[in-house]
Amino acid sequence: MLEFFKGLISDGGPVVVILLGLSVVSLTIIAYKLFQFTGVLSGQKRINAALTQVQARDNQTALNALKLRSPAERVLAYAITATQNRMPHALLDAELQRRGNAEVEELNRFIRLLEVIALISPLLGLLGTVLGMIGSFQELELAQGAADASVLAGGIWQALLTTAVGLVVALPAAIAASLLSATVERVTHKIESAIGRFNLIVNAPATP
C-alpha cells in the first residue's frame, strides 16, 4: 500500500500530494460527523411521552422521560425546566430560539468544508491534467515531432491521473455533505416540531 501511494505521488506530482491531503481531511471530518450524528434523530417516543406528561401538568415526570440524547430532547428539556422556574414567556422563546440555533450550528460544523473539498478537488485534478498535458506537448515540441510515442502516452497517462484522483477525493465528500445537510434539516424540523407542540400545550386555555 505504501508503495502504491509513493508511485501515485511520483506520477501525479504536487497536485496529487495536495489532493491526498484533502482526502485525509475529508475522511477525518466524515468519521467525526458520523460519530457526532449518532442518535440525533432518535427519541421521538420519549418526546411524545414527555409532551403527554406536560399536558397532564406533570413536568417532573416529563423531564424523567427525556434522555437528552438528541438536540430536540435537550431543547425540550430546557423548555420544561424553564417553565417550571416560571421564566417569562418572551425570554423563554428567545432562549429556545438561541439553543435551537446553537444545536443546529454545532451539527453544521465542517459540512461547508466538505462542500468546498468536493468543489475544488475536481478542479485541482483538472489543473494537474492541464499542466501535465502542457509538459507532454513541450517534450514533443523539443523532440521536433520525433518523440517516442510510448513516452508521450506515459506523460498523458500521468496527466490524466490527477483528474481521476480529484474525482475520487470529491465523490465521498460530496455524498457525505449532502447526506449530512439533509440530516441537519430533519433535526431542525424535529426541534421546531417539539417546541411548537410544547407551546401549544402550555399556552392552551385551561379546561374549566
pLDDT in tens, the chain (208 residues): 555 556 556 666 788 889 999 999 999 999 999 999 999 999 999 999 999 999 989 999 999 999 988 999 999 999 999 999 999 988 999 999 999 999 999 999 999 999 999 999 999 999 888 887 877 777 766 666 555 566 566 667 777 888 899 999 999 999 999 999 999 999 999 999 999 999 999 887 655 5
Q: pTM to 2 decimals? A: 0.84
Assess contact for 150 and 139: CB atoms under 8 A: no
Cα gap 43→72, rounded to integer Å: 8
Grid cell locating 110: 465542517
Grid cell locating 173: 465528500
Grid cell locating 157: 497517462
